[in-house]
Amino acid sequence: MFNKKNAYKSFYSSSNKSGFTLIELLIVIAIIGVLAGIVLAVLNPQKQRQRAREGTLRANVNKLCLAYASCKSSSVDETYTECQGVANADNLGVVLSNLNGTPSGATYTYMTEWGDSGTTNDNNTWGGWLDVDGTGSFSTANDCYFYCDATTNIPAIGGGGCATAN
């Protein structure tokens, strides 16, 4: 015979209970939250965009470095005047107007105050800078720049606004 009291007990007894407890659900939600926070920190779109812009800048400065090294090696005298200055960019085979603004905010120029060894000849080199802070003027603390290393002729990195490491 059907006993209403026994049916109620057997339905809600612990041996027939299935599902998750509240503590288990809270732990799973906390773990998912921590993992989501880590993924969002790693996949920060603004930082990834900045790194991509710096990669383009570095590649373009690398082209300038190679062209500058080639021009210097075929130079008649040791002053390399035909390889220096924005007016002589055509001697490098590089059209600066095509490079400037690629990526957005980038400027490429002949720089007379940067270099790695501190000697006069090494300080004159080609490079490019990225206007990270959006001021329109160059700042070593806030912007990112690459220049041709005088000894290796590969781009060296500088500036406090670079998202990528050297």
For residue 55, what pLDDT is reported? 86
Using CA atoms, how far apart are residues 127 and 117, in angstroms rounded to an integer?
A: 16
| The model scores a pTM over 0.85 | no
Using CA atoms, how far apart are residues 155 and 60, in angstroms rounded to an integer?
A: 9
Residue 132: CB atoms within 10 A of its CB come to 20
For residue 34, what pLDDT is reported? 95
The tokens describing 127, both together, are 């490079």
Q: What is the chain's pLDDT, residue by residue, as a tens digit (166 residues)?
A: 556 665 555 555 555 567 889 999 999 999 999 999 888 878 888 888 888 888 888 888 888 888 888 877 877 776 677 777 777 777 777 777 777 778 887 888 877 654 443 444 445 677 788 888 778 777 777 788 888 776 676 777 777 777 765 4
The answer to whether the beta carbons of residues 159 and 75 sit under 8 Å apart is no
Q: Among positive and negative, which fits the CA dihedral 38, 41, 44, 50?
A: negative
31, 42, 158 from 34: Cα distances, Å: 5, 13, 34
Query: Which residues, other chains included, contact 150 with Cβ-Cβ below 8 Å and sequence gap of 6+?
Result: 115, 116, 117, 121, 122, 125
